[in-house]
Structure 1
Amino acid sequence: MRLMQLDRQNVAFPSPESALREPNGLLAIGGDLRPERLLAAYQRGIFPWFTPGDVILWWSPDPRAVLYPAELHISRSMHKFLRRNPFQVTLNQAFADVVAGCAQQRAEGTWIGEDVQQAYIQLHQLGYAHSIEVWLDGELVGGLYGLAQGSLFCGESMFSRVSNASKTALILFTHHFVTHGGELFDCQVLNDHTASLGAREISRRDYLRHLLDYQKQRLSPYCWQPKMLYPYIPT
Structure 2
Amino acid sequence: MIPWLTPETSFPPLDTALTQPNGLLAAGGDLSPERLIEAYRCGIFPWFNQGDPILWWSPDPRMVLFPAELKISRSLRKTLKKANYTIRVDSAFKQVMQACAAPRKGHPGTWIHDEMLAAYAALHEMGWAHSIETWIEGELAGGLYGVAQGKMFFGESMFSRTTDASKVAFVHLVRYLERRGFKMIDCQMKTAHLASFGAREISRKEFSLKLKELVNYPERVDKWCVDYESLE
Q: Same fold (TM over 0.5)?
A: yes
**TM-score where L is the length of structure 2:** 0.94
The answer as to whether partners of 1:45 and 1:60 remain within 8 angstroms in 2 is yes
Residue among 88, 99, 114 paired with 1:101: 99
Whether 1:128 and 2:123 are equivalent positions in the alignment is: no
Distance between the aligned counterparts of 2:70 and 2:184, measured in 1? 11
SS at match of 2:166: helix
Distance between the aligned counterparts of 1:123 and 1:226, measured in 2? 16
SS at match of 1:182: coil
SS at match of 1:227: coil
Quick one: percent identity of the two aligned structures?
48
Q: Which runs of 5+ in 1 are unaligned?
A: none
SS at match of 1:111: coil
SS at match of 1:190: coil
Whether 1:3 and 2:2 are equivalent positions in the alignment is: yes
Q: 1:180 to 1:233 in 2, by over 3 A?
A: closer
Distance between the aligned counterparts of 2:57 and 2:141, measured in 1? 30
Q: 1:149 to 1:232 in 2, by over 3 A?
A: closer
CA-to-partner distance for each residue in 1:141-198, whole Å, 9 max, x for gaps? 1111111121010001111111101111110111011111111110000112111111
Q: 1:80 to 1:114 in 2, by over 3 A?
A: same
Q: 1:201 to 1:87 in 2, by over 3 A?
A: same
Q: 1:167 to 1:178 in 2, by over 3 A?
A: same
CA-to-partner distance for each residue in 1:193-213, whole Å, 9 max, x for gaps? 111111110000010111100
Q: 1:116 to 1:191 in 2, by over 3 A?
A: same
How many pairs align?
230
CA RMSD of aligned residues (A): 1.7
Q: Which runs of 5+ in 2 are unaligned?
A: none
Q: Corresponding residue for 2:158?
A: 158
Counterpart amino acid of residue 43 in structure 1:
R
